[in-house]
Structure 1
């Protein structure tokens, strides 16, 4: 697994690239001030100071992206954690989906970005008949889906109302 980050979003919404982060992507401690040089459009460089929590949170989000992919693939195969091939399972081009919005007093959380360009590799070879996607929900949740030999696109994930969508169906109505 690659431990460095592709980017970090600052609180003002701007993005620091991996090159701009430099060795700051190795930070593992919270509440530390970090600085980085950001290149501006006019060619100048601006030094920005930001909290290490942003780096730690981005690293955790990346870790959980890998975790979600692995869980979805294991569930697809039905072999669980005792699968002898588990250490040979790899995911390439992994990118954590951008989060949705958190639920507030009068709103539900919203779906975030959907990412579907990950590659699955097993025993050093690309697995061609499996497609995967991951989608963020709210600020800190993700759902991953793995499908095998399914033509077309993976159906969109959507929220279900248990009382109206499931209970009515279960009761035969």
Structure 2
């Protein structure tokens, strides 16, 4: 069970809920009928929301979307109830001037200083990041990605048109430097030879790899300086490039959500998050539903209009085999960067950490 209480003072809260096996509903001929059945199966949880929030859940066509929307609402109410000292019924979620969800106390006109939250969901997983106890206004953003949710569609395009063309489909939301990096920067590969390293020609071969189901000759240097060549299947290279793309998407989305602007923000192509390496999943995971913590990468080179963003702190974690979660925080001037400390993403016990709180406050 995740710990949801703690000491006062500046803190970063990171929660998640995995809805994939929650609220099982019999398969129906029409997806919308599954959502109608979900209304009965999740009646207890839906009763904890306002009528407008319930409507926003049940208007979805697909069950998976209704489930993540429900949990997104519940986590917003939970963070307000736990850390703003109000009963669940008073944890009204509003929207700020940029339409970003926030909490405005009853009788006030703005959200409390030093408190902010953001929610993200993808492929059945819902994550919330929050800042509590800070001295002044703070901005936070979160994102979740699943690198294989669209894998069949991604593969179809890449197999037909190549990886570079696939990257170019997303050119509107990335900086030119990022697009070039996605296409041409080498990705980690298993050389299967102890002590060997890629040489320039080997790195170039991997950088230019665009399609699966091919074999390429990769030149490398052995541990004693000798020239070597390895025949490699291109499938793992493309998979590594796809994972890095989704890692870059995750970081960018977290930053954009932190700012409160959409992916159509006018400055979007002037935001650069450079030299991104995707965090690696923990070795040996067999369970497809596992969200076991893998590698954590802290702080990325983030630039806006060519200037480094020194007040932004970012972190990304591999979760299970295919998921990654990131958080982005703009640190107030009244605080040092060291005041912002990311922790682990904690999976909530839905019954004890969420429902028990909602029904007792």
Per the TM superposition, whether the score is higher than 0.5 is yes
**If the length of structure 1 is used for normalisation, what is the TM-score?**
0.85
Task: Report the Cα offset of residue 41 of structure 1.
Answer: 1.4
2:229 aligned residue: 47
Q: What whole-Å deviation, never above 9, does each CA across 1:75-102 have from its counterpart, x for those lacking one?
A: 1011112322111111123111112254
Task: Report the Cα offset of residue 42 of structure 1.
Answer: 2.2
1:75 maps onto 2:257 in alignment: yes
Gaps of 5+ in 2: 1-177, 332-336
1:157 aligned residue: 345
Flag the 1:16–1:25 CA change in 2: closer, same or farther, 3 A. farther
Gaps of 5+ in 1: none
Contact 2:216–2:234 (CA under 8 A) maintained in structure 1: yes
Flag the 1:61–1:143 CA change in 2: closer, same or farther, 3 A. same
1:110 maps onto 2:298 in alignment: no
Q: Which has the higher helix share?
A: 2
Flag the 1:168–1:18 CA change in 2: closer, same or farther, 3 A. farther
Contact 1:32–1:51 (CA under 8 A) maintained in structure 2: yes
Flag the 1:75–1:16 CA change in 2: closer, same or farther, 3 A. farther
Matched residue SS, 2:313? strand
Matched residue SS, 2:184? coil
**Partners of 1:169 and 1:95 in 2: CA distance:** 39
Flag the 1:120–1:18 CA change in 2: closer, same or farther, 3 A. farther
Q: Which has the higher contact order (CA 8 A, sep 6+)?
A: 2
Pick which of 56-65 and 42-51 moved more.
Answer: 42-51
Q: Which has the higher strand share?
A: 1
- The structure number with the bigger radius of gyration is 2
Task: Report the Cα offset of residue 13 of structure 1.
Answer: 9.1
**Partners of 1:72 and 1:18 in 2: CA distance:** 35
Contact 1:7–1:16 (CA under 8 A) maintained in structure 2: no
Map of 1:10-21 to 2, 5 A cutoff? 10=190, 12=192, 17=198, 19=200, 20-21=202-203
**Partners of 1:84 and 1:147 in 2: CA distance:** 20
Flag the 1:69–1:5 CA change in 2: closer, same or farther, 3 A. same
1:28 maps onto 2:210 in alignment: yes
Task: Report the Cα offset of residue 8 of structure 1.
Answer: 2.5
**If the length of structure 2 is used for normalisation, what is the TM-score?**
0.43
1:9 aligned residue: 189
1:166 maps onto 2:351 in alignment: no
Flag the 1:10–1:40 CA change in 2: closer, same or farther, 3 A. same
Task: Report the Cα offset of residue 158 of structure 1.
Answer: 2.4
Q: What whole-Å deviation, never above 9, does each CA across 1:20-41 have from its counterpart, x for those lacking one?
A: 3322321111111122123221
Structure 1 stretches of at least 4 aligned residues deviating more than 6 Å after TM superposition: none
Task: Report the Cα offset of residue 130 of structure 1.
Answer: 0.8
For these two proteins, the number of residue pairs brought into alignment is 172
Matched residue SS, 1:42? coil
